[in-house]
Amino acid sequence: MVRRSGEMAFSRTAYLLAYNVGMAAGWSYALYLGVKGALDSEFPSSLAGCMPSGGSIVGLFQMISLLEVFHALFGLVRGSPLAALLQWTGRSNVLFNVILPIPTIYAAAPAGAMMLAWCLSEIIRYPWYAAQIKGTCPFWLTWLRYSAFIPLYPVGVVGEMLSIYNALPTIQANLMHSVQLPNSWNFGFDYATFMKIVLVLYPGLWWMLYSGLLKTRAKKLPKL
């Protein structure tokens, strides 16, 4: 029984280590493509080339990150499955429903800035998780884990909000992701209106999460 428990613990550790290393590699590749796309574009400082170059990889690894909901659900990691699902849904909604379907949005500066902020955040977060699993996490990585979000989170959120705002006319004109009445279900849904509500709520929700991260940072890095 003890041997079996030990084997299960080893399998869990090996899987989580492989997952986090793989995710770090994937997001690093997305960052490389994004930077290369920006530099290869006519106006590199506009960041317009980031998402067209690396957006498909960002989408792939964002989809894979849905596994983190199940990691929490099945007790592989500590954390709330609901919180993980809400975070994944929020980011995926912006990426898959707003940015990627509209060429003028994913080839624009806000989407590029958002992509770079996401990539930089993830290539810190996943190595930190991997190092925690190994029990050999250096202080500098912990410092980055609880400090890099200070500039990166606002950049990412502003990129998301501007992308949503700029996409609203296209979403509304084409009735994207909407359900029109009449239909057999007698149910209607206007995605443009939904995203307007989301846009209004964004600053408050962002501050709740951001202030929570600042409090966590104060606990993890008490000397700073």
Active site residues: 153, 160
Instruction: Give 157-160 contacts, CB < 8 A, sequence gap 24+.
Output: 157/202, 157/206, 158/110, 158/113, 159/110, 159/111, 159/112, 159/113, 159/114, 159/115, 159/117, 160/94, 160/110, 160/114, 160/202
List residues bridging with 179 in a β-sheet: 189
Please check whether residue 174 is in contact with residue 190, taking contact to mean a CB–CB distance below 8 angstroms.
Answer: no
Phi-psi region of 137 (alpha: psi -120 to 50; beta: other; left: phi over 0): beta
